[in-house]
Structure 1
């Protein structure tokens, strides 16, 4: 009974059953693969920390540069004012009238009229006069003019009277009392005496 046809009939269903069983889909459970979170969190934390520290350092350096610039500007302003003051003092010292006055204080006198000698023929042109104190030109040094801001008009401040109350209410009450006493003196009762 084991004919080839019989074997083939019994074998085909088995092969078909095996193919059907293999072709069936089954649910496979998911494998959860966890990525390592610690390195990622560490990296993000380091980047954030580096950014904050960098911003703080940048802000600090900008503040220091701002303070240095302000200090240098103030120093430049002071030096400019000092330069202008020195220039004004130098102009005063170079004033010809001041120089002449200083020379006169040292005993120098103004030169007289000169005479000229012609070297070709030996002739003298002009008449030489000696320098004397009597022949000096009078020197009146001009006073340096001050700007209006450096020479303001005087300000007068009156001090309050001694023994008077200093409050506004005290001054007002005192005036009222004086007025009342003044009106009492002019009353008809006083004129009858």
Structure 2
């Protein structure tokens, strides 16, 4: 009877130990999955931060806020003297466009199919001849400034 009780207690102890190990492995698998998901999320967020911290993205966002590049800086020397002449920040002039605009086809001036006449708010006008300035070929009824009177 004592041997049967000892064997039963041993089997019961072994069953409890096996159950505890299985619960631990299930918890470990769940924690590994959470770690993988958190690592993926951290990498995605780091990629977004890197994209938004790029110099061209910072410049674009600054221009959207109305900021312009700073002028020439002045520096203070150790003795308190001002080195250099500070200049006011000014907006750079607009970039001059080339003669080959993206909406012109290489075949000679037909508009690209990206803007169709059926699109609301799209007006197609004939393109100016090559070498003509865009201001000279503007329709007489066009307003002088498209900025709303700034």
Superposition TM-score, scaled by structure 2 size: 0.52
Equivalent residue for 2:88?
130
Residue 61 of structure 1 deviates from its aligned partner by 0.7
Equivalent residue for 2:106?
none
Residue 103 of structure 1 deviates from its aligned partner by 1.0
Counterparts of 2:36 and 2:78, CA distance in 1? 60
Paired residue for 1:88, among 32, 47, 59? 47
Residue 54 of structure 1 deviates from its aligned partner by 0.7
Residue 125 of structure 1 deviates from its aligned partner by 4.4
Query: Any residues of structure 2 matched to 1:21-40 within 5 Å, and which?
Result: none
Query: Any residues of structure 2 matched to 1:40-119 within 5 Å, and which?
Result: 42-114=1-73
- CA 1:131/1:63 → structure 2, altered by over 3 Å: closer, same or farther? same
Residue 119 of structure 1 deviates from its aligned partner by 10
Indicate the SS of the match to 2:59. helix
> Could you tell me whether the CA contact under 8 Å between 1:116 and 1:125 is conserved in 2?
yes
Which ranges in structure 2 are unaligned for 5 or more consecutive residues? 96-150
1:127-168, CA deviations, whole angstroms, 9 ceiling, x for partnerless residues? x4432223589xxxxxxxxxxxxxxxxxxxxxxxxxxxxxxx
- CA 1:94/1:116 → structure 2, altered by over 3 Å: closer, same or farther? closer
Counterparts of 1:73 and 1:46, CA distance in 2? 40
Which structure is richer in relative contact order (CA contacts within 8 A, separation 6 or more)? 1
Q: RMSD value over aligned CA atoms?
A: 3.1
Which ranges in structure 1 are unaligned for 5 or more consecutive residues? 1-41, 138-193
Runs of 4+ in 1 over 4 A off after TM superposition: 115-120, 122-126
1:43-84, CA deviations, whole angstroms, 9 ceiling, x for partnerless residues? 112101101111110111111111111111111111111111
